[in-house]
Amino acid sequence: MSVADPQQMAPTAPLQLSGKRTPAAFGRLLLSEMRLIVGRRRNQAGIGVLMVIPVIMTIALKASSDGGESGEGGPLFLAAAINNGYFVALAALGIEIGLFLPLAVSWLSGDSIAGEANLGTLRYLLTVPVGRTTLLAMKYLSLLIGAFIGVLAVALAGLVAGGIAFGFGPVTLLSGTQLAFAPALLRLLLAALYLTAGLGALAAIGLFVSTLTEQPLGATIATVALSTLMWILDTIPQLDWLHPWLLVDRWLAFADLLRDPVLLDTISRGLLVDLAYVAVFLAAAWARFTAKDVSG
């Protein structure tokens, strides 16, 4: 959380709490973090961009299908979208998880500590009676919620655009069986949660990088560069021994939720890798932040 926008400096004032470190203080701090993430104009614009992409994708897909093209050979779920608007949401997630969603999370996480330090408001924020460890935890929790909001925005935009363009109906899973639309929505929610877990691991990396610098843009670029590098490494066959350890390697495994029965092996391995990244980089962020000198 930073207050780089002047109009956003006011919401920090209510954090001047007194008394013991109560759950109410934690809740107020988290609420303040979320107000800044959701309420800032640039973040709202970012959500808008995330939601526009599925709409543009739907328009292009509708135009190509009307012209007799099926969309086969395109990104995951794209060919199925012309028969059921439900798959537009999944195709949009598959496309945006490669760059746009990681970029959004990198921006939020890179700005979380570095933005405060850059403006000199970090010292003021540390007067809140919750301690540095709790402050760091609340920042990470707000990043996790922010990541889920971004993923959900993409999925909802895809659903609405896909429903308008192609309609809805029973969902034919990748295994060939059909699922009613309502249970299929639950599968979509689980896919969103799975991708949020992966982006949450990336947010932990960004949070750590943010504690190393006072330049939020630098922290953002470093986090995006690392995510992009992992995607590149994941495509090199000669490095197949490294692939299982790359954070992004199993992000597209959310497709296994669209099988009957659900294939949990790759998903569970992906979640374990996410958890490992979170544990390592949150620990590193905590070690750096609790020892960070903010008196200057």
Measured between alpha carbons, how far is 107 from 280 in angstroms, rounded to an integer?
20
pLDDT for 33 equals 79
Reading the block at residue 106, the tokens are 């990198």
Measured between alpha carbons, how far is 282 from 264 in angstroms, rounded to an integer?
26
pLDDT for 35 equals 85
Measured between alpha carbons, how far is 259 from 251 in angstroms, rounded to an integer?
16
From residue 197, give the alpha-carbon distance in Å to each of 59, 263, 276.
Answer: 30, 17, 11
Question: Helix, strand, or coil here: 247?
Answer: coil
Q: Which helix (H) or strand (E) holds 179?
A: strand 178-179
pLDDT for 16 equals 40
The stretches in the chain having pLDDT less than 70 are: 1-23, 25, 66-75, 118-130, 293-296
Measured between alpha carbons, how far is 210 from 282 in angstroms, rounded to an integer?
11
Measured between alpha carbons, how far is 128 from 144 in angstroms, rounded to an integer?
22
C-beta neighbour count of 51 within 10 angstroms? 19
Half-sphere exposure of 39 (CA within 13 A, CB side): 18
148-104-155 Cα angle (round to 5): 45
Per domain, the residue ranges of the chain are: 23-290
Cis peptide leading into 261, omega within 30 of 0? Answer: yes
